[in-house]
Amino acid sequence: MFSYRHAFHAGNHADVLKHTVLIAVLQHLTEKDAALTVVDTHAGAGLYRLDGDYARTSGEAGGGLLRLAAPAPDAEPLAPALQAYLDLVRSFNHGSNLKVYPGSPFIVQHLLRAHDRLKLFELHPTDARALAGNVAQLNAGRQVAVLSEDGFEGWRKFLPPPARRALLLCDPSYEIKSDYAKVLDLATEGMKRFPTGTYAVWYPLIARPEAHDLPRRLKTLATKSGKSWLHATLTVKAGKVKELADGKVVRPGLPASGMFLINPPHTLKAALAPAMPQLVARLGQDQHAAFTLESGG
């Protein structure tokens, strides 16, 4: 249950997609004066060392953030959404070397105003302690709350929020197959409790029926609820397992991921339209690299 550690995956291509979308959403939601509550159901440790043992072991940031940030003299300028993502990550680092990666909690806190609130859930005991310690360094006072609880359950405490404006981010590890059903249950109950909230779901696109069913079911939920939705996916490589001549099996790692949003900002699709093909061009690893961007409602 507690085997997954995001430190191995910090800054990978899935983080690039998730956090580019998250920043674009928050930039829009913080334009209104009214207070915003953000709930992160699976917050992780909050900050990660890209030069630490975990990240170096996987090397996944090399195919995500670091590849995107690498100089590309002949490439067109980055889309504003991607530039905003890179600028924010760089703000956590000194100089040109990217050694620190901010997870969703620190990205969100960086963009919130003083009267906004951030609720962070993390059940993994080691990551929960790390998160609490990292957040303490912010001196954010009552703005940020860290809860060592199951975010699939605890989110109900905060929706609907007093100011009736909220973003809920749900991005579990999906190591346990039941997580897919829990995400759908959360979104379904969330839409009943607080139908005007923005719900953002990250998921891995892998060879598992549940992974392909989840966005379809979320789309059905949004449509039946009469709500707008947006679905973006990024594929960087083929996802097939290969067997070498010597009998060794090579697993591809995560080939793709998606973000599904209910009640997304009306500006989000336009912000992502120029960014998605650039992500394919910069992060794609083979001829299977591709993206999708669709919306409705």
List, for residues 1-12, the tens digit of each pLDDT value. 444 567 889 999
226 is an annotated ligand-binding site residue: no
Closest CA to 16 of 94, 84, 77, 93: 84
Spans of the chain, pLDDT less than 70: 1-5, 53-58, 241-252
Which residues, including other chains, have CB under 8 Å from residue 63's CB and lie 6 or more apart?
12, 13, 236, 283, 285
pLDDT attached to residue 44: 96
What percent of the chain lies above the pLDDT cut of 90?
84
Structure tokens at 7: 């430190």
Q: CATH classification of 6-296, choosing from 3.10.129.10, 3.40.50.2300, 3.40.50.300, 3.40.50.150?
A: 3.40.50.150
104 is an annotated ligand-binding site residue: yes
pLDDT attached to residue 158: 98
Catalytic annotation, pick one of 15, 116, 127, 171? 171
Which residues, including other chains, have CB under 8 Å from residue 180's CB and lie 6 or more apart?
174, 203, 210, 211, 213, 214
Which residues, including other chains, have CB under 8 Å from residue 134's CB and lie 6 or more apart?
45, 46, 47, 105, 106
19 is an annotated ligand-binding site residue: yes
Q: Could you tell me where the beta strands, DSSP code E, fall in 205-245?
A: 229-235, 242-243
Which pTM value belongs to this model?
0.94
pLDDT attached to residue 56: 64
User: What is the spatial distance between Cα 46 and Cα 133, in angstroms, rounded to a whole number?
Assistant: 10
In the annotation, is 171 catalytic?
Answer: yes
Closest CA to 291 of 93, 16, 98: 16
pLDDT attached to residue 4: 55
Q: For residue 238, is it left (φ>0), alpha (ψ between -120 and 50) or beta?
A: beta
Helix 209-224 × helix 178-193 angle, to 10°:
10
pLDDT attached to residue 1: 47
